[in-house]
Amino acid sequence: MMTRTITDLASDTRSINHTNGWGTDFTPEQIPTFLALIHSEITEAHQERSRAKRARELGDVIVRALDLCELIRPGLIGNFLTTLEHRRPPLPTRLRVRWSRNAHETQLHALTSAVLERYRKAPKDQPPEQTATQLVMDLAALIVMTNRVLLCEQPRGTTPTDLISGILDANRNRGYRHGGRRC
């Protein structure tokens, strides 16, 4: 099977979310709200003790980040990422990441906060296209770091793309306002 590209995953994410009524009236002023949803997914990952469930929550972080990228500027994420890394790190690395999970989650929160600061402190005279590019570039860094942690948590025999495709399939069948996203 051919690996799906980031552009494919992001486009599918936005299409499914639009069909479900999520983000259909998006404006840039909602970026902080969408970033808060990403923070909540990181927190949910922290609260999970099952590696499979934790990986699923980290997949949700990536899905939300991809969706926000598409809302900010459709297709732009493909300029920064092509596919998700699928090779699991060696066991000692995976164990070290699992052991230091608080530090990694703090880093994910910090990256999400950096996107918010980039948005909040964008110069008023800066062209919107430049701001959009910087925000999507920062979200790409968040996706890469989240995927690195996810690779250490996911069950053997699965890939991040498989996991995200499963999340998208569930969202496709879920419908509007499933108890999570409200914007």
- Token readout for 84 is 């998700």
Whether residue 43 has pLDDT greater than 90: yes
Whether residue 177 has pLDDT greater than 90: no
Indicate the residue type of 180. G
The confidence score (pLDDT) of residue 181 equals 46
- Token readout for 18 is 């639009």
Give the domain ranges of the chain.
6-174
Q: Where are the alpha helices (DSSP H) in the chain?
A: 6-19, 31-47, 51-72, 91-99, 101-120, 128-153, 160-174
Could you read off the pLDDT of 8-40 as tens digits, one per residue?
999 999 999 999 988 899 999 999 999 999 999
pLDDT band at 2 (very low <50, low <70, confident <90, very high): low
Could you read off the pLDDT of 142-158 as tens digits, one per residue?
999 999 999 989 888 88
Whether residue 183 has pLDDT greater than 60: no
pLDDT band at 175 (very low <50, low <70, confident <90, very high): low
The confidence score (pLDDT) of residue 1 equals 52
- pTM for this prediction: 0.91
Cα Rg of the chain (Å, integer): 16
Burial label for 158, CB within 10 Å (0-12, 13-18, 19+), is middle
Q: Please choose, from the candidates 51, 64, 58, the residue with its C-alpha nearest in 3D space to the C-alpha of residue 10.
A: 64
- Token readout for 176 is 């509007």
Q: How far apart, in whole angstroms, are the C-alpha atoms of residue 47 and residue 83? A: 28
Element (H, E) at 125: none
Residue 137 C-alpha from the chain's centroid: 13
Report which DSSP code applies to 156.
T
Could you read off the pLDDT of 52-108 as tens digits, one per residue?
999 999 999 999 999 999 999 999 999 999 999 998 888 888 888 888 888 889 999
Could you read off the pLDDT of 96-150 as tens digits, one per residue?
888 888 888 999 999 999 999 999 999 999 999 999 999 999 999 999 999 999 9
CB 97 within 8 A of CB 104: yes
Indicate the residue type of 83. T
The confidence score (pLDDT) of residue 176 equals 60
The confidence score (pLDDT) of residue 133 equals 97
Q: Please choose, from the candidates 65, 84, 59, the residue with its C-alpha nearest in 3D space to the C-alpha of residue 150.
A: 59
